[in-house]
């Protein structure tokens, strides 16, 4: 979530605005009035909310994390919409037009369709998202062109850089490469990876975020059975509003929380929880806890799974 410092006081207290609400906080560091901070909720009880400020300043790939965070939830893949809407000169653009249309069809094919797509479709989407482009090349897969990055690189060669389409393709490739660098760094340290989640809802394509956390392995390389595996999804359900799903798995036990912003989405997901629990049980999982909660729209709007890629620093304690 994002908070704005309304008033910082010399006695170690501050007034923060979170969404539409102002709260009083005790802080352990100097703050400037008007400053915006990214924070994550770490604990909640009846008297306080514990928050932790997120900063990428000292992270080895901090500047890439900041760049990805500033791009918003759709990340570099937002450039695809500019790319798809760009017009090409009618003369001498046959190859570029063909590649642009092929890329548009490709994105539609790999996008997740709720109620239709299965686990294998999601795995295929990950393989073809472009984040594994070099790995696929090393494995000798189809010349490396049948993924989002490969097709974009071919399109970049077919258009002029100064054209709107050329600029959009370059921005897309640069963004994918930043995400590759970040995933390589966070994957090695903590086993966390951020992936695009193309999804089609009500006939509309959008990009959400998918975070996979395999658990920090550390130098001893803990056995996979002893690690908590987590997965988070953040996406827009169009008419039902935004959704965040947080699922954890430990030794066959599943816990999950679905956060939504509208009463319609809350009612729908609550109704479907029983079927989801039954399906997981039939597959051999033990469902320990599964719930739905409604959160403030402003809080959800300021949420990005980029913030969950790295461990937070700088603790804050906020009174409710």
In angstroms, the CA 177 to CA 67 distance is 12
Tens-digit pLDDT profile for the chain (320 aa)?
Answer: 677 888 888 777 788 887 777 888 776 666 778 877 767 666 666 666 666 666 666 667 878 888 888 888 888 898 898 888 877 665 556 788 888 888 988 988 888 887 776 778 888 888 888 888 888 777 765 544 588 999 999 989 888 776 778 888 999 999 999 999 989 888 887 888 999 888 888 788 888 999 999 876 544 455 656 678 899 999 887 778 889 999 998 888 899 999 999 999 999 899 888 888 888 888 888 888 889 998 888 778 878 888 888 764 444 455 54
- In whole angstroms, what separates CA 98 from the centre of its chain? 30
HEC assignment per residue over 278-307: HHHHHCCCEEEEEEEEECCHHHHHCCCHHH
Supply the pTM of this predicted model. 0.75
Q: 10 Å Cβ neighbour count for 52? A: 19
> What Rg, from alpha-carbon coordinates, does the chain have?
21
Question: Which residues fall within 8 angstroms of residue 214, CB to CB, at 6 or more apart?
Answer: 191, 192, 224, 227, 229
First-to-last CA distance in the chain? Answer: 16
In angstroms, the CA 206 to CA 199 distance is 6
In angstroms, the CA 58 to CA 284 distance is 42
The pair of three-digit structure tokens given for residue 313, joined into one six-digit string:
């620093």
């Amino acid at each position: 979530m994002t908070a704005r410092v309304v008033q910082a006081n010399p006695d170690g207290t501050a007034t923060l605005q979170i969404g539409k609400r102002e709260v009083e906080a005790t802080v352990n560091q100097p703050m400037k009035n008007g400053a915006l901070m990214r924070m994550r909720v770490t604990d909640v009880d009846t008297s306080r909310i514990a928050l932790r400020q997120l900063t990428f300043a000292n992270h080895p790939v901090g500047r890439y994390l900041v760049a990805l965070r500033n791009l918003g939830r759709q990340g570099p893949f937002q450039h695809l919409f500019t790319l798809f809407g760009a017009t090409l000169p009618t003369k001498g653009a046959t190859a570029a037009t063909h590649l642009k249309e092929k890329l548009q069809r490709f994105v539609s094919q790999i996008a997740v369709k709720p109620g239709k797509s299965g686990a294998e479709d999601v795995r295929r989407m990950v393989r073809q998202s472009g984040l594994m482009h070099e790995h696929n090349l090393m494995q000798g897969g189809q010349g490396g062109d049948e993924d989002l990055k490969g097709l974009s690189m071919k399109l970049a060669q077919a258009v002029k850089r100064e054209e709107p389409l050329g600029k959009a393709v370059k921005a897309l490739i640069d963004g994918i490469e930043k995400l590759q660098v970040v995933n390589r760094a966070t994957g090695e340290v903590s086993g966390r990876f951020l992936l695009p989640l193309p999804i089609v809802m009500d006939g509309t394509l959008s990009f959400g975020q998918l975070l996979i956390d395999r658990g920090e392995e550390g130098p001893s390389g803990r056995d996979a059975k002893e690690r908590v595996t987590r997965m988070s999804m953040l996406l827009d359900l169009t008419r039902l509003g935004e959704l965040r799903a947080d699922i954890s798995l430990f030794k066959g036990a599943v816990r999950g929380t679905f956060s939504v912003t509208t009463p319609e989405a809350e009612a729908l997901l609550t109704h479907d929880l029983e079927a989801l629990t039954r399906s997981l049980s039939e597959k051999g999982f033990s469902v320990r806890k599964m719930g739905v909660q409604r959160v403030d729209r402003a809080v959800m709007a300021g949420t990005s799974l980029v913030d969950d890629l790295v461990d937070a620093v700088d603790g804050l304690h906020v009174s409710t």
